[in-house]
Amino acid sequence: MVVPVVPPSLIDPEALPPPLMTSELGSFAYNTFKVRIPRIIDDIVAHNAFSEEIRQAMAELRSEITEGTIRPLRESTPDKPFWDQVSRPYFGRSWLEVPWYWAEAYFYRRVLEATRYFQPGPWHGVDPYATIKGTEWRPDAAPRMIDRLLRSLSDDPETRFRQLLYASLWGNRVDLSYNVAAHLAGTEAEDELSNILVDDGEAAWRYLQDRSCGRIILIHDNAGTELLADLALVDFLLCEELASQVDLHLKAQPFFVSDAMLADVEVGIEALARGDEAARQLGERLRGHLAGGRLRLYTHWFYTTSLFYFQLPDDLRAILASADWVILKGDVNYRRLLGDAHWPPTSSFERATAYFPAPLLTLRTLKSELIVGLAPGEAERLSQEDPTWMVNGRRGVIQGRLT
């Protein structure tokens, strides 16, 4: 494990709106630590044959979250000084009175401590979410959905790009820490388009056409369906020579239940090999891209911390700045981009993300009470139509700053 450090901020954090807090009664942040996180702990324990020591540690973590106060990490690991530094203001407080994103990131680090992920022994390096993720890799799950997608694609390159972009967007619904996909599975395609609140897909296509994109970075979110949909998009970009190289940025360790790690790419390609013909062919092409160096896998300690994108360490900022285009996936990455703060919905996405070091496209289904870039009155209209529109995963954005 590398030693993470807290880098200087690229913006003045005091200039941000107030952060989303777990103390906000009735909010999704409050519900996360009041209801969802205890359920996640129960699911992790139910899906693993943990030792009694680990089961007790998970029970203690659950009790701390529901009725105790936050404590520091106890294990000796290279990242302990980092977590001590960023968490010091919150030690001794309730989990229901702290910034939401920090609380989630620290909770998932505490799960790794409880399950002895970094310690010698039988659970060293074992993903506690692997069994939960495994449901997505069955041939009748994600591979079948991808096969169906590939067989439905248009022959027209622009139309095919938009179809794959939408598939990558809606794949973000399949989040195993908050599975919003089940009740939306029957949504018709024309309704899906109306659920995209900001659609910069046409601008993204023009951006690709107007310049020869060398290297594209895709920062992933979830494994399973979303990862395979992302890989189908990557395959299109490489086969159509819209990019000479694509780098996939993934997690180095388990995070947020279903987040895609380096190992999940190999597992996903193996799952495609067990699918139908179109899925198998995609898997073969992906292996060819990897072997030829046009598709590369990368990870960085930043991605599993409580830091925001305006706190990028110098080495990662330089890597992102050298890309011709960065595609950022998922709700949590969107939250990290905007500081997980209470922005007015009409705030400019371009202005809020001006610090980011490269042209940017975000693909995100809404699972948190945060959004920018809406027209005046749109948020109010949506609230009248659907009071849970910001968190139920029905809506999405394809939102970019392509300059």
Residue % of the chain over a pLDDT of 90: 86
CA–CA dist 329, 361 (Å, integer):
9
CA–CA dist 380, 396 (Å, integer):
17
pLDDT in tens, 94-152: 999 999 999 999 999 999 999 999 999 999 999 999 999 998 888 888 899 999 999 99
Can 13-128 and 139-401 be said to share one CATH topology? no
Task: Tell me the average pLDDT of the chain.
Answer: 93
Among 55-59, 175-179, 370-374, which stretch is predicted with the lowest mean pLDDT? 175-179
For the residues 14-31, what does the mean pLDDT come to? 95
Helices (H) and strands (E) in the chain, counts: 17, 7
pLDDT band, very low/low/confident/very high, at 180 (cuts 50, 70, 90):
low
Domain boundaries, the chain: 13-128, 139-401
Task: Tell me how far CA of residue 396 lies from CA of 65, 223, 364, 381, in angstroms.
Answer: 31, 19, 6, 16
Check residue 4 and give its pLDDT.
86
Check residue 181 and give its pLDDT.
47
Candidates 388, 379, 383; CA nearest to 347 is 379
CA–CA dist 301, 5 (Å, integer):
10
According to CATH, the topology of domain 13-128 is Transcription Elongation Factor S-II; Chain A (1.20.930)
Check residue 95 and give its pLDDT.
98
Res 171 pLDDT > 60: yes
Three-class DSSP category at 347: coil
pLDDT band, very low/low/confident/very high, at 15 (cuts 50, 70, 90):
confident
Residue % of the chain over a pLDDT of 70: 96
Candidates 158, 156, 155, 136; CA nearest to 146 is 136
Query: Would you say 173 and 181 are in contact if contact means Cβ atoms under 8 Å apart?
Result: yes
The HSE-up count of residue 392 (CA atoms within 13 Å, CB side) is 11
Check residue 213 and give its pLDDT.
73
Check residue 10 and give its pLDDT.
87
Check residue 391 and give its pLDDT.
95
The full DSSP string for 64-103 is HHHHS------S--TTHHHHHHHHGGGTTS-TTSSBHHHH
Check residue 190 and give its pLDDT.
44
Positive/negative CA dihedral, 340, 341, 343, 347: negative
Check residue 12 and give its pLDDT.
87
Three-class DSSP category at 377: coil
Buried b or exposed e, range 338-348, using 16+ CB within 10 angstroms:
bbbbebebebe
Among 5-9, 27-31, 395-399, which stretch is predicted with the lowest mean pLDDT? 5-9
With a CB cutoff of 8 Å and minimum separation 6, the contacts of 49 are none
Check residue 13 and give its pLDDT.
83
Candidates 106, 4, 18; CA nearest to 338 is 18
pLDDT in tens, 208-246: 988 777 899 999 999 999 999 999 999 999 999 999 999
Check residue 187 and give its pLDDT.
37
Check residue 188 and give its pLDDT.
41
pLDDT in tens, 196-212: 999 999 999 999 988 77
Query: Given the structure tokens 């920062």, which residue do they identify?
Result: 219
What is the model's pTM? 0.95
pLDDT in tens, 247-296: 999 999 999 999 999 999 999 999 999 999 999 999 999 999 999 999 99
CA–CA dist 328, 311 (Å, integer):
16
Check residue 356 and give its pLDDT.
97
Query: Given the structure tokens 């388009």, which residue do they identify?
Result: 193
**Domain 139-401 is in which class?**
alpha beta
